[in-house]
Amino acid sequence: MGWNDQIIEEFRNNNGTVTTGGFGRSLVLLHHTGAKSGTPRVTPVMALRPDHNDWLIAASKAGADENPAWFHNLVAHP
């Protein structure tokens, strides 16, 4: 089982709380569709919640020059 799969499992088993990596309740599970494949996917992403009505996520790939795959998927299939 990969890192993301472990995080997703912990998220689902603990009602959105992820103690691994100290994430706590700052993750959301982003559901998206593969841009080319059309395959449904789920990716855990960090979220900031500046107020009760808004959620912010950043399309970051650990400082890489390109965006993560989920960003391209969302552009292709909003």
Show the tokens assigned to 73. Answer: 């998927």
Q: Where are the beta strands (DSSP E) in the chain?
A: 27-33, 40-46, 48-51, 54-56
The per-residue pLDDT for 63 is 87
The per-residue pLDDT for 30 is 97
Query: Which residue positions in the chain have pLDDT lower than 50?
Result: none
Q: Look at residue 11 and give its three-state secondary structure.
A: helix
0.85 surpassed by pTM: yes
The per-residue pLDDT for 1 is 81
Q: Say if 70 falls within a structural domain.
A: no
- Total domain count for the chain? 1
The boundaries of the domain holding residue 21 are 3-62
Phi, psi for residue 33 in degrees, rounded to 5: -115, 135
Tell me the sheet residues that pair with 32: 41
Closest Cα to residue 70, out of 23, 10, 20, 4?
4
Q: Say if 37 falls within a structural domain.
A: yes
Show the tokens assigned to 4. Answer: 């993301």
Q: Say if 77 falls within a structural domain.
A: no
* Distance of alpha carbon 1 from alpha carbon 31, whole angstroms: 19
